[in-house]
Amino acid sequence: MNEKLNSRYLKSGRYGIFLAFAIICIGLALSTPRFFTVPNLMIIGTQVSINALLAFGVTFVIITGGIDLSLGSMVAVTGVVAATFAHPDTYPLAVPLLAGLGAGLLFGAFNGFVVTKSKVPPFIVTLGTMTIGRGLALILSKGRPVSNLSDPFNFIGGGNVFGIPFPIIILIIAFLVCSVILKKTVLGRYMYAVGGNEPAARASGIGVNRVKIWVYTICGILSALGGILLTSRITTGQPNAGAGFELDAIAAAIIGGTSTSGGTGTMTGTLIGALLIGVISNSLDLLNVTSYYQQVVMGIIIIGAVVLDSAGKKERG
């Protein structure tokens, strides 16, 4: 592969998403004065936070050449688990947090274990665990919302610090941690190696199965964090929550430049992809465009991103 051509393509793709984001924001600011107000920007950040957390997790997975369709179900089951322990005067805040994150860790590790040991395509495995997760959420909650949550727990999704919504603070911290993992750690380098050329990675001594289990586990933890945020924000653990969230998260990663064939992707690109989705959705709301048209617009954007990714792979090839 021509390394110079590959590097030039990556840089152009990275700058391209920034340019597209800037142009869209400018256009929206001109079309609706309410767009560039501080309250509206805070709303966008809060709305984007959950999708971005899921997108960060699935970016790790896609970089290794996998996919995870169980994100939405993990949001539901981890949210229900956290809500179960979040009633006032029962447990300290740490208990529902650890319970929810622990459930996400186990669910993600299970995905990784089945993917690596069964040799079944990740699409099929996570399609199955998507159904399992939704069923578990319904079983644990007995099909009813888990309500009466404590004020400290509800603060996570609904509170603010110095005027900044707490979900935005969590988003920033998660972005920094995920960026460090991907750019500065051995595990991050192994992710790119596995997704870029798995046989070569195996031949060079990389524990491919361990890497995959790690990325699915991290994805599960981030999904759990998203589930806790959502549960806190709506103040109930909903067993039907998170339906379709996996599609938005995967869309954010792909729009942000993560290659569907693996080996390419950045957390910065994924964050911009999630913000782009949030900005478009918010602006269409401000322009009184119905949600039906919003789905059409997002579908077109996803197809366009995949087409550009395919064109880039042909150029590099």
pTM of the model: 0.90
Mean pLDDT of 126-134: 96
Q: Give the Cβ contact number of residue 179 at 10 Å.
A: 17
Residue where the block lists tokens 């759990």: 224
CB 253 within 8 A of CB 270: yes
Alpha helices (runs of H) in 64-93, residue ranges in sequence order: 71-84
Q: 41-95, pLDDT tens digit by residue?
A: 999 999 999 999 999 999 999 999 999 999 999 999 999 999 999 999 889 999 9
CA-to-CA separations, 292 to 21, 264, 297, in angstroms, rounded: 22, 32, 9
Q: Could you tell me the pLDDT band of residue 6, with boundaries at 50, 70 and 90?
A: very low
Backbone φ, ψ for residue 146 (5° rounding): -95, 110
pLDDT band at 314 (very low <50, low <70, confident <90, very high): low
Q: Residue 237's beta-bridge partner residues? A: 146
Lowest mean pLDDT across 260-269, 273-282, 291-300: 291-300
Q: What is the largest CA-CA distance in the chain?
A: 62
The hierarchical CATH code for the domain 38-316 is: 1.10.3470
- Sort 2 into a burial class: Cβ within 10 Å, 0-12 / 13-18 / 19+: exposed
Q: pLDDT class for 317, splitting at 50, 70, 90?
A: low
Which of 233, 121, 88 has the alpha carbon at shortest distance from 168? 233
For residues 283-306, give the mean pLDDT: 78
Residue predicted with more confidence, 282 or 183? 183
Enclosing H/E stretch for 291: helix 291-316
Look at the block and give the residue holding tokens 């040799």. 119
**Could you tell me if 52 and 255 are in contact, meaning their C-beta atoms sit under 8 angstroms apart?**
no
